[in-house]
Amino acid sequence: MHWPGFPTSSTACDTRPMRVLVAMSGGVDSSVAAALAAEAHGTDDVVGATLKLWGGDSDSGCCSVADVDDARRVADQLGLVHHVFNFAADFEAHVVDPYVTGHAEGRTPNPCIECNRHLKFDRLLDRAEQLGFDAVATGHHARRVRDADGTWRLVRGADPAKDQSYVLAMLGQDQLARTLFPVGEMTKPQVRAEATRLGLRTADKPDSQDVCFIRSDVGRAGFLADRVPLHPGRLVDHDSGADLGEVDAVELVTVGQRRGMGHGSDGRRRFVTAVDVPTRRVTVGPPEASYSSAVALHTVAWVAGPPPGVEAGGADAYAQCSAHGVAVRCTVRAEAGGLTVVFAAPQRRVAPGQTVALFEPARPDHVVGSGVVR
């Protein structure tokens, strides 16, 4: 199978072969990405690389010994040289430690986004450049396109059910210029069909769903309890301030959560509207209290610079507040130290530490940028 959008040289006017380093996680998507790269460029100019990110035990995600073995064997099937890069120290510093610290301070970080920000599209791109590669290919379901003026755009993947543009919304021009998304034009069934046709061992491998550094038998609570003290907290009513009972660990509660929050006197479910770790207070309220008309962002990243109007009154956009959320209309305006996103209609509160991805109003599949909720 040939992917028509795959470049075959390092630049449009360069006839030398493009050297591609493929990030192989051991899953079916990156396996097929490697196969497409090898088909487009030949096995001499394509190399597979698996990142050793987590030094502890893992039974899920993309950090287990089995995943590394799957990646190595697929590379062997395809006739590719395969390397393992040990980025465990960077992963601990930029992903795991902030994840733990965030929960200890009442935030809910997204470790997959921070891994993309600091490891896959920073550390790995740097390593690829040092080794003489022109680009890094990944198995993400996203696309990149280039405008007539040479500007790179990040676009949703062809399969709406598997689109991963949300977790890539921090990418800018430098990263997009050196990144390939070979399976971005494919649906997931097409990816699996191609893996089956090639006889790849990962063809039927389930997608990873969990945080890769947290074992399923321990869970988030067990993982955090080994690293930070967990404290019981009080549930407080959003409207009256009345004490409603106890929560086992305030550090494990997230804004928007409803599980374990019980029901109000009217029988309706209660939702978390605020978490205050220093005072050990978790504020809960009825469904309508769980909505907000705006959200403030920091750590703002733009794909190709801020859109016109952001600095002067605001610009229209679409906002997606979770990996599988629906993008909604909003207005984005610059504020001191970040952005304010004002929704056209109130939305469920987004937990501090989570990411909001922004999309163009005229082309809702084109990413504008992203920011992290304050």
Which residues carry out catalysis? Answer: 115, 212
Contact 162, 121 (CB under 8 A): no
SS3 string of the chain?
CCCCCCCCECCCCCCCECCEEEECCCCHHHHHHHHHHHHHHCCCCEEEEEEECCCCCCCCCCCCHHHHHHHHHHHHHHCCEEEEEECHHHHHHHHHHHHHHHHHCCCCCCHHHHHHHHHHHHHHHHHHHHCCCCEEECCCCEEEEECCCCCEEEEECCCCCCCCHHHHCCCCHHHHHCEECCCCCCCHHHHHHHHHHHCCCCCCCCCCCCCCCCCCCCHHHHHHHCCCCCCCEEEEECCCCCEEEEECCHHHCCCCCCCCCCECCCCCECEEEEEECCCCEEEEECHHHHEEEEEEEEEEEECCCCCCCCCCCCEEEEEECCCCCCCEEEEEEEECCEEEEEEEEEEECCCCCCEEEEECCCCCCEEEEEEEEC
Neighbours of 246 (CB within 10 A): 12
In a 13 Å sphere around the CA of 351, the CA atoms on its Cβ side amount to: 24
If we measure between CA atoms, which residue out of 269, 274, 268 comes closest to residue 250?
274
Place of tokens 């629906």: 326
Query: What is the crossing angle of helices 188-198 and 28-41, to 10°?
Result: 70
